[in-house]
Structure 1
Amino acid sequence: MPLETPARIVSELASRGYNAEREAVTRIADTRDPSATLERALETLPDEALKLTTDHVESVIEATESTEYGPDTEPNPETETAGAPTQPHPSVSTGTGEPTSTEPGTTAPPETGGSRDVDTSLRAIEVANDMTGQSTGTGEYSDFVAVFRDRYEKLASKLRGRVNHRPTDAIENMGGGSDAALIGMVSDIRSTASGHWLVELEDTNGTFPCLVMKDRPIADLVQQLLMDEVIAVEGTLADDAGILFVDSLYFPDVPRTHSPSTADRHVQAALISDVHVGSQEFMEDAWHRFTDWLHTAEAENVEYLLIAGDMVEGVGIYPEQDEELDIIDIYDQYRAFSEYLKEVPGDMEIRMIPGNHDAVRLAEPQPGFDEELRDIMTAHDAQVHSNPSLVTVEGVTVLMYHGVSLDEVIAELPDEEASYEEPHKAMYQLLKKRHVAPQYGGHTRLAPEDRDYLVMEEVPDVFHTGHVHKLGWGEYHNVVALNSGCWQAQTAFQKSVNIDPDAGFAPILDLDTLDMTVRKFS
């Protein structure tokens, strides 16, 4: 078996009864012929030694290079790089290669400099809501109060024009039988013995119970509610004014009149997510076909690449993940991803956000990478922003969110409203709630900051997520909602939880029309 990766080298060493220093394994993997280097290292290892050291591997590599090139010769940098893998991918670009065929098995042209007929001076990109380097939360009780108050105020402002809101303490002092309206955060939902719904709403002054009768048309809307989201209700107070009988229920929602912005020229963006480099199931061939295609005339208008998280597989994310890793070191995973990214034309603008497999905190909002990872991720000057971030590309606002909360939305809501087979419908629910992760204390971990970065204050033109490894897209009130699938074949863990991924797809968005074309490379 070829030994191109550290994981396979470690496995081979273990099968022979040896251990090794991590740097020693990395140095072997970086050589042109890892299998031969390992054999020479073991052949020259002292009989009593059970551990392969970095110094020993270095001496073997040095001796090998001096033998191959001779004492009076040096490697030719134009023909090969000492210590580089023999595989043609990931390629390092020179800007001189010709575009190649997209047939399976072909390699990407060696051109990171970009040889396409692209006028980069026409580009315009802005990023908002990026909290990288802005984290202030310490986990104190006051931090949580502040972030929930900020959420309430922002979402309540979008509902006040629809109802004649009164605070809870004012409603408590109203007479029985009065008409009343309330904007509140859902603090409890339960069914009564008669099958009606009792929803408790909380504002900054207190809480108030609201009853939705099971035979009312709005009863179905209660099943779409999540804890901690902000809604508005209208109705009539009971005779004792102790409860509000609800006649109408409103979400912050995207206005039906929303008119999306478009680019002033024909330009496209590739929207992908969940690459998972480092996994044994990373679809390397599909990635090569995708990057090959990006170098063709057919893809000449694809000037932006937006990646919605999980660039690498990560370490310790799920049980026994180490058995499914091709690269066992998280930093080596990012180095490999950066090399794969070099296959993309160098004249493309690349923006990314982290996901739950990436080396940042799990709690959302997730900041962009730290300096150590940014130093590794240098290919094409790709920019990493926080999760979520609002990226405006030539006037088109794209809300990029990795999508961990989709698991909760799908678990909590009826199948017809949210499912893994149609992930974009779960995204419709988040657009309706104007919040990417409304429910606190569940599967999605939320961090308190000085404000709630997860509120959709501005209506996006495009909502782009990943995480669930399923492909789905549609429109909700003129907002394009896209979950872009993945680049990882089904893992043993995914099979155990019945996840059948949509892998090797690249959605291509026309920024001038917001039309979507999905290309398959698997």
Structure 2
Amino acid sequence: MPLEAPARIVGELTSRGYNAEREAVTRLAAAENPNAALERVLEEIPDDALVVRTDHVEAALSTGGAAGAVGAETVAGTEPSPADSTPSVSTGTSSPEDGEPTGGVPVETGGSLSADRSADPAQRSLEIVGDMTGQSTGTGEYSDFVSVFRDRLDRLGAKLRGRVNHRPATAIQDMPGGSEVAMVGLVNDIRSTASGHWLIELEDATGTFPWLVMKDREYADLVGELLCDEVLAMEGTLADDSGIAFVDAMHFPDVPRTHEPSTADRHVQAALISDVHVGSQEFMADAWNAFADWLHTPEARHVEYLLLAGDMVEGVGVYPDQDEELDIVDIYEQYEAFSEHLKKVPGDIEIVMIPGNHDAVRLAEPQPGFDEELREIMSAHDPQIVSNPSMVTLEGVSVLMYHGVSLDEVIAELPEAKASYDDPHKAMYHLLKKRHVAPQFGGHTRLAPEEKDYLIIDEVPDIFHTGHVHKLGFGKYHDVLAINSGCWQAQTDFQKSVNIDPDAGFAPIVDLDTLDVTVQKFS
């Protein structure tokens, strides 16, 4: 079978350890004999090259005969016999019948044919929004903290001021007792009174003002959901002395109930995974190999995108005595091993990756994407490597990718009925409600002050994808699909100590045309 589809060329190059420029792939696919042209390029490419460039292809085509038809000359006007047909470059044999893989074919090459992932690459669309890699300006000075919180209040406050008759804190202090008032601000403090009521202090750019939530009011239950530094609006009535307001209503930035998610125009799927943890003694290589094998089957032929939400490797020095649990102790060797595992994924699948707290980037969020040295190590599939968090749009479907460190904080701070490790997607609902992936500053989640707040959920995503907590869970909140994708690491000693049983070896698969989810288990 001639190698005419660009996707098959990419798969073959990936299996041999090469990345490729898109124009180079296009030129190869347009050659009279793409198989022979590809072989000539690989013969002539410099030994130290990792990327097949357009100039490599042009040089090979110019020396290999018209249109690159090397080794495939036939008599004009005649057709080659079946015995003379050029074999498939992906397998070196005739193509398997009925999608069955040929015996002895390496997993990283055989699957491209088995899956028959032959959709026109021109139908694909992948866009990145909010990648802050290379945009960090924070110096840790006081002015940076002021900037990031002002930006948070301005942008999230804008989503609330249209719902209430907002007044600044200083203006409320000057209003007469008994007045109806409303304020948009950051939660500065939450404390209970001796009578069991709740006192919430809101802060805006002018100052602070206290709001009292009576314990017997129906919305008192919402106090248990609040986190310091989140933005919300309160409405109520001023006390006679105007020193405090009694809360009548609370409003969160939230996802509008009128939100209607976008869907793809064709049947196409995305695999959403995270927390691979290559380098750990508990990395589940067999499960990963089973996943990669499955991606090569006809059942997975519609999976054209793979989104990895952080923690590609186990890292080094992430926690005390971690070296005793490492299978690979050098961080660069961990990424090299991860890259080898990634090569087993079909080369015609588009990959997007963000870092996590175990990866070799700064711990403070937002986390820029990997540096050039690590990108080069992981370049075989030409993945899109972006910051944590980032918004990815796949054929019109927006996916907010966030590793999920703040989920630990949400689960710790909120009542168990509202957020738990057993139902990680429900903790994600609260981040959607607050329209911020890590609202609480100064807690367990390390946050970096920048000129703007990159952690705000400005636009409502169609899918919210996280990892980190090593638990599988998914559901919908106001028609936003929330997925926490589990992990590829068996239970560690630390997880045993805190009684966390990870959901390992699962791959949630999303139909982008319907937003339905199926879960494939490989362990």
Query: TM-score higher than 0.5 here?
Result: yes
1:317 aligns with 2:312: no
- Partner in structure 2 of residue 483 of structure 1: 484
- Give 1:119 deviation, angstroms: 1.5
In the alignment, structure 1 residue 235 sits paired with structure 2 residue 258: no
Q: Is 1:96 aligned to residue 91 of structure 2?
A: yes
The 5-angstrom pairing of residues 397-476 of structure 1 reads: 397-476=398-477
Shift of 1:110: 2.6
- CA apart distance, 1:116: 3.0
Give 1:152's aligned residue: 153
1:108 aligns with 2:107: yes
String of CA shifts for 1:368-421, please: whole Å, max 9, x gaps.
Answer: 001111111112101210000000000000000000000000000011110000
**1:274 aligned to 2:275?**
yes
Q: In the alignment, is the contact (CA less than 8 A) between 1:143 and 1:448 conserved in 2?
A: yes
Q: For residue 380 of structure 1, what is the aligned residue in structure 2? A: 381
**Alpha-carbon distance between aligned partners in 1 of 2:101 and 2:489, rounded to the nearest angstrom:** 23
- Residues 258/290 of structure 1: CA separation in 2 closer, same or farther (3 Å cut): same
State the distance in 2 between where 1:492 and 1:129 align.
36
Deviations 1:129-155, CA, capped at 9 Å, x for gaps = 100011100000000100000000111
Aligned to 1:6: none
Does the Cα contact within 8 Å between 1:123 and 1:394 map onto a contact in 2? yes
In 1: Cα distance, 2:192 partner to 2:207 partner: 22
- State the 1:100 CA deviation: 6.2
Distance 2:488 2:166 in 1: 48
495-504 or 385-394, which deviates more: 495-504
Query: What secondary structure does 1:380 align onto?
Result: coil
Task: Give the corresponding residue for 2:347.
Answer: 346
Q: Displacement of 1:120 after TM fit?
A: 1.0
Evaluate the alpha carbon distance shift between residue 312 and residue 100 of structure 1 in structure 2; reply closer, same or farther with a 3 A threshold: farther
Q: Which runs of 5+ in 2 are unaligned?
A: 1-42, 44-87
User: CA separation in 2, counterparts of 1:225 and 1:500?
Assistant: 28
Following the alignment from structure 2 to structure 1, what is the Cα–Cα distance between the partners of residues 201 and 105?
Answer: 61
RMSD between aligned alpha carbons? 2.0
Give secondary structure in 1 for the equivalent of 2:178: coil
Contact 1:100 1:107 in 2 (8 A): no
Q: Compute the displacement of 1:94 (Å).
A: 6.4
Question: Aligned with 1:151: secondary structure?
Answer: helix
1:130-169, aligned counterparts within 5 Å?
130-169=131-170
SS at structure 1 position matched to 2:218? coil
Give, in angstroms, the shift of residue 495 of structure 1: 1.1
CA distance in 2, matches of 1:425, 1:405: 13
Structure 1 position 395 matched with structure 2 position 390: no
**Contact 1:94–1:111 (8 Å) recurs in 2:** no
Return the offset for 1:95: 2.4
Number of the residue aligned with 2:188? 187
Cross-structure match for 2:218: 217
Contact 1:107 1:288 in 2 (8 A): no
Which amino acid in 2 is paired with 1:166?
A: R
Q: Identity of paired residues, percent?
A: 75
How far apart in 2 are the matches of 1:339 and 1:212? 56
Equivalent AA in structure 1 for residue 468 of structure 2: H
Q: CA deviation at 1:320?
A: 1.5
Which AA in structure 1 matches 2:91? T
Number of the residue aligned with 2:82: none
TM-score (normalised: structure 1): 0.80
Contact 2:109 2:346 in 1 (8 A): no
Q: Which residue of structure 2 lines up, in the alignment, with residue 513 of structure 1?
A: 514
Q: Secondary structure at the match of 2:482?
A: strand
Q: Give the structure 2 partner of residue 4 of structure 1.
A: none
AA matched with 1:120: P
For residue 56 of structure 2, what is the aligned residue in structure 1?
none
Q: Indicate if the aligned counterparts of 2:288 and 2:522 stay in contact, CA closer than 8 A.
A: yes
Residue 332 of structure 2 corresponds to which residue in structure 1?
Answer: 331
Aligned residue identity for 1:96: T
Partner Cα separation in structure 1 for residue 433 and residue 461 of structure 2: 12
Is the 8 Å Cα contact of residues 184 and 232 (structure 2) preserved in structure 1? yes
Q: Which residue number corresponds to residue 6 of structure 2?
A: none
Q: Which residue of 2 aligns with 1:27?
A: none
Given that residues 101 and 111 in structure 2 are in contact (C-alpha distance below 8 angstroms), is that contact kept between their aligned partners in structure 1?
A: no
What's the offset of the Cα at 1:96?
Answer: 2.3
Structure 2 residue matching 1:182: 3-state secondary structure: strand
Aligned length: 431
- Conserved 8 A contact 2:474-2:481: yes
> What does residue 295 of structure 2 align with?
294
Q: Where does residue 70 of structure 1 map in the other structure? A: none
Q: Offset of 1:497 from its aligned partner?
A: 2.0
For the residues of structure 1 that align with 2:457 and 2:160, how far apart are their CA atoms? 14
